[in-house]
Amino acid sequence: MSKRAEGKKLAILATNGFEQIELTSPKDAIQNAGGQAFIVSPENGRIQGNNHRDLGDYFDVDTSLDDAKAEDYDALLIPGGLFSPDALRTNQAALDFTSAFFEQKKPVFAICHGPQVLISANLVNGRHVTSIESVQQDLKNAGAKVTDSPVVVDKGLVTSRKPDDLSQFNDKIVEEICEGKHDGQRQSVAA
């Protein structure tokens, strides 16, 4: 087992209604590579995942969003699901937390509906991205250059479409977190 991500810390921004496999699979990939993953949430205690439209398991929140600081982590993951990204995109603390990773030139990973948070934080204008089909038009409207590919990498921003793409997404997560800061990662200017 490779430990190439040893010492790296991944923040996973989620709240109730995240797509469970889109949190657990990348978390396992980072941990299997020797890194650590921490769930950051506006909720305290536990949050519940979803398995598509069915309720999933409960997961302990490691850090309250109110107490989380981007400088304490090496990268950020925003899992998808129908409900978590929708709640996070209207939470100013979540948008500020996400924006801080861009300002600090750290890798950011978003899958499925996760890019909705990036849209609301004005972080996709001019960026190459992908997402689940139902979010692709929203990304285009926000100025993103959308490709319907399993994974799209744009200078430290890594996006993916759906659970079927997790193997490729996880490989890129480990690769990008190991590479560290990306000078091309920046906060986009809203159109």
Q: Write out the catalytic residue numbers.
A: 112-113
Instruction: Write the CB contacts of 115 (distance below 8 Å, at least 6 apart in sequence).
Output: 78, 85, 124, 129, 131, 135, 139, 159
Paired with 36 in beta bridges are 9
Provide the token pair at 141: 């409207």
3-class state of residue 49 by DSSP = strand
Query: Going along 4-91, which residue ranges are E strands?
Result: 9-13, 18-19, 36-41, 46-51, 54-60, 63-64, 75-78
Which phi and psi angles does 97 have, rounded to 5°? -60, -45
